[in-house]
Structure 1
Amino acid sequence: MLQHRFHTWRFSGQFVKGGHIRTIILLLVLWFIWTTKNDAKHRRIGMEPSRIIWQVHHTIFLLHTDKLFQFVHWRGDLDLVPHFGITLISPTPNPPTLVYWCAPSAGYAKINTDGCVKNGFASGGGVIIDHTGRCIRTFSTGYGDIFILETELRAILQGIELA
Structure 2
Amino acid sequence: MFVWRLFYDVVPVDSVLIKCRIPLASKCLCCTNASQESAMHLFLKGTLATYVWSHFNLMFDICPGGNISQTLELWFQRGKKGSMEHLICTLTPLMILWEVWRERCSRKYEEKYQWQTCSIIYKIRFWIIRICDRFTPTRRSSEGFLKNIGSMGIKSKDPPIQSPKIVYWQSPTGSFVALNVDGASQNGVAAGGGVIRNSHGVHIANFFSYYEEGTNNLAETRALLDGLVLCEELGIDLVLIQTDSMLVVKWFLKLTEIPWHLRLWWRKIRDLTGSMNVQIIHIYREGNYAADYLSKKGINLASNGAVNHNRDKIFKQLLVADEHKIPYLRQSKR
> Structure 2-normalised TM-score?
0.39
For 1:1-56, what per-residue CA distance to the aligned partner results, in whole angstroms no more than 9, with x for missing partners?
73256654433342477973234223433444527854995583412112222222
Distance 1:83 1:39, change over 3 A: farther
- Measured after TM superposition, the shift of residue 157 of structure 1 is 0.8
- Whether contact under 8 Å (1:71, 1:88) holds in the other structure is no
Q: Which deviations, in whole Å up to 9, do the C-alpha atoms of 1:33-85 show, x marking residues without a partner? A: 52785499558341211222222222222323x2337486976x827524523
Contact 1:60-1:84 within 8 A present in 2 as well = no
Give the 3 Å change call, closer, same or farther, for CA 44–95 of structure 1 in structure 2. Answer: same
In the alignment, does 2:196 pair up with 1:136? no
Q: Is residue 10 of structure 1 aligned with residue 92 of structure 2?
A: no
CA contact (8 A) 1:21 1:74 kept: no
In terms of mean alpha carbon deviation, does 12-21 or 93-102 score higher? 12-21
Aligned counterpart, 1:102:
170
Higher share in strand: 1
The amino acid that maps onto 2:115 is: M
Structure 2 segments unaligned to the other structure (5+ residues): 9-66, 232-334
Per-residue CA deviations over 1:86-142 (Å, capped at 9, x if unaligned) read: 242443332222222232222221101123345665332211122333322222222
Q: Residue 165 of structure 2 aligns to a residue in which SS?
A: coil
* 2:87 corresponds to: 20
- Take 1:88 and 1:137, find their aligned partners in 2: how far apart are those partners? 52
C-alpha distance 6-120 of structure 1, shift in aligned 2 (>3 A): closer
Distance of 1:73 and 1:24 partners within structure 2: 17
Identity across matched positions, percent:
26
Separation (CA, whole Å) in 1 of partners of 2:118 and 2:211:
63
Question: Which whole-Å CA distance do the structure 2 matches of 1:69 and 1:109 have between them?
Answer: 44
- TM-score by length of structure 1 reads 0.71
Residue 230 of structure 2 corresponds to 162
* TM-aligned CA distance change 1:92 to 1:115, over 3 Å: same
Figure out how many residues of one structure are paired with residues of the other and give that number: 162
Runs of 4+ in 1 over 6 A off after TM superposition: 16-19
Distance 1:62 1:43 in 2: 31
Distance 1:31 1:159 in 2: 56
The question of whether the paired residues in 2 share the 8 Å contact of 1:129 and 1:135 is answered with yes
